Structure 1
């Protein structure tokens, strides 16, 4: 219960400090709502939780629980609920990745529908104000000019409408053709392609360029082969992904595997989610996983020195005791990540989201933390000597347990210790 109490307090601190920063608050609460789907939480539970929270505030604050404070926290909880439900909608929508080490929770369709309905923000209806009618006297010439302009405008509108309708029809035909191309069997696509080739061949002028090209004996076979090559491209891509995941799985428990590094990089380049990957203790030096989805991954004790993880999603990842010295983690999402005893020396964490992350006993000497978000992070015994915290979102209480000798503080000033005869900033 102590851990749950601390998480709740951190979440409330996070909301208070970032309520006017939706770019920082939104992704964290979306991810939090997504994780609660795995805990069995459904939308109807949010109401009783909110009532209990507001009742606890009322009992604790007593005379300080004014109508204004109650209204503010009610609005805040409504916002929190909306953001968490949006995250729950994403998680409740299945996204199958072959051989991916992740737990799939089969959610009923009723839950998904309920989530979609409750996550939609309510838009208050504004009463339309009636405008008074204004009577204007016009002479015959002005009326004639006005009617002429209206007629011209109507004709142009008709022409534009016709072109627009034709464009929409052609677009619809093209979309249906593309859909059928990918859904129909390869033999049918090849047969239709051959028939179209023959029609074009018969209709084409023998002396034209296209006619001379089509007169080639191998032209038909080349066209069919090209069509089949394009048609089978997704299947080849799937096969490649299966092979890549097989390499990753085979390297489980193996410390050094260059093939695993290449497989993870290739999967990420193809936009495949790497969520839940288990590579504990793996050597992944200088790996390039920029913008990768690495949420919920198990990378404790892994060597990620000089890795490129910029803009990567490492939400709720376990990186405890990992080596990340010299790594590029700029604008990465490390919210709620377990980063205790991680070696971040000289790493780039500028703009990173470290909200509610566990950074206890982490080595962050010389780390670039400019404009990073550290609200609610656990920095107990974290070594921040020489770190650059300029513009970082972090409270003095969060920094109280860290070692800050020579660090640049959020306001741009340099930290002065008590020994220097200056009060701690």
Structure 2
């Protein structure tokens, strides 16, 4: 669908001065016209919810000319709304309320052309969000399929963890059955009938069986080391165990290590999505290309850390210390960076669309070519920072 981007941008600029009032009016109008949606917000901090609405609107309008950025974000938002209980029938009331609230604030500027532009935009947004919601719903069917796969893997694992003596006996029995079945005059019978063949076959089977057992045992020991260090601030054994697991390609998703000292740790390319590393010390850590989506890194020390090309979408980095950190080309879409220290950080080519930068310290940071709007930067401290257009910010 072709959108009238110019009209959308111009009309939204007229609403911006009344942003907070607009958000409050939107929810008042929504609850009055459609009380059936109010239960969805029973446990919601409405002040924070209003800020999220404004951030979403800014994100959409600022990226109307960059559909390659906007599409994936709206897909992700649609998927997240499934967890909030937002079903497709609620999208209609929300769209109606948005148009009503826009008309309320634009008044005489609410022309038929403006109304059509916003209606078309909301339809396009809804389509992208519903696509993400559909993918989230279909993933549940995929999860059921994964359970069957998991069951099959457990059966296979049961074979691998069987006692060695049992595997040896089974190998001899299978070998003997094959020998009895084959033709006595065949070449295969002559080969299998050789005196040393049975011992060689058993030795080979045992060698293959024990290899993964040894590797699994190593992983179990490594995880035991990590678990034993829970609530322990300093543990060099934990650092080595995590590095070894990552080198073996073992997922560290959901790692729970709050307050841990992990200075200089090398977890490049690690899967640390949804990890809890609140108040941990990851100074000078190598986390390049790692996946930290939805991770809790609140108040975490990441000074001097290498976070280049790292996924940090929807991650919580509130009050984190990212002084002089390398965040080049990092994905920080919708991340919470409120009151974070990003002084001197390298944010070149980073994606910050929808990020919360309220109170963030960006003094001396390099934001050249970063995807971030002026609105998102307006609540941050940017003295001496290199802005996305390459200019150096100076307070007036």
Aligned ranges 1:329-344 → 2 under 5 Å: 329-344=307-322
Choose which of 263, 271, 276 in structure 1 pairs with 2:249: 271
Q: What residue is the counterpart of 2:37 in the other structure?
A: none
Whether 2:372 is the aligned partner of 1:323: answer: no
CA distance in 2, matches of 1:93, 1:385: 46
Q: Which has the larger radius of gyration?
A: 1
Q: CA RMSD in A?
A: 3.8
Q: What residue is the counterpart of 1:103 in the other structure?
A: none
Choose which of 47, 62, 66 in structure 2 pairs with 1:2: 47
Choose which of 208, 218, 232 in structure 2 pairs with 1:230: 208
3-state DSSP class of the match of 1:382? Answer: coil
Distance 1:267 1:292, change over 3 A: same
Q: What residue is the counterpart of 2:59 in the other structure?
A: 14
Q: Is the CA contact 1:379–1:398 (under 8 Å) kept in the aligned structure 2?
A: yes
Q: Is the CA contact 1:366–1:388 (under 8 Å) kept in the aligned structure 2?
A: yes
CA distance in 2, matches of 1:274, 1:71: 43
Q: Is the CA contact 2:229–2:238 (under 8 Å) kept in the aligned structure 1?
A: yes
Choose which of 194, 197, 220 in structure 1 pairs with 2:198: 220
Query: 378-387 or 281-290, which moves further after superposition?
Result: 378-387
CA distance in 2, matches of 1:182, 1:342: 41
Q: CA deviation at 1:49?
A: 2.3
Unaligned 5+ segments in structure 2 are 1-45, 104-109, 149-154
CA distance in 2, matches of 1:93, 1:395: 37
Relative to total residues, which structure has the larger helix share, 1 or 2? 2
Q: What residue is the counterpart of 2:120 in the other structure?
A: 71
Whether 2:93 is the aligned partner of 1:48: answer: no
Q: What residue is the counterpart of 2:3 in the other structure?
A: none
Q: Is the CA contact 1:194–1:224 (under 8 Å) kept in the aligned structure 2?
A: no
Provide the TM-score with structure 1 as the length reference: 0.66
Whether 2:332 is the aligned partner of 1:354: answer: yes
Q: What residue is the counterpart of 1:120 in the other structure?
A: none
Equivalenced residue count is 329
CA distance in 1, matches of 2:173, 2:392: 74
Aligned ranges 1:190-339 → 2 under 5 Å: 191-192=173-174, 217=196, 220-231=198-209, 233-339=211-317
Distance 1:238 1:49, change over 3 A: farther
Q: Is the CA contact 2:315–2:336 (under 8 Å) kept in the aligned structure 1?
A: yes
CA distance in 1, matches of 2:245, 2:140: 21
Distance 1:235 1:33, change over 3 A: farther
Q: CA deviation at 1:82?
A: 0.7
CA distance in 2, matches of 1:202, 1:20: 77
3-state DSSP class of the match of 2:242? Answer: helix
Unaligned 5+ segments in structure 1 are 98-105, 110-179, 419-425
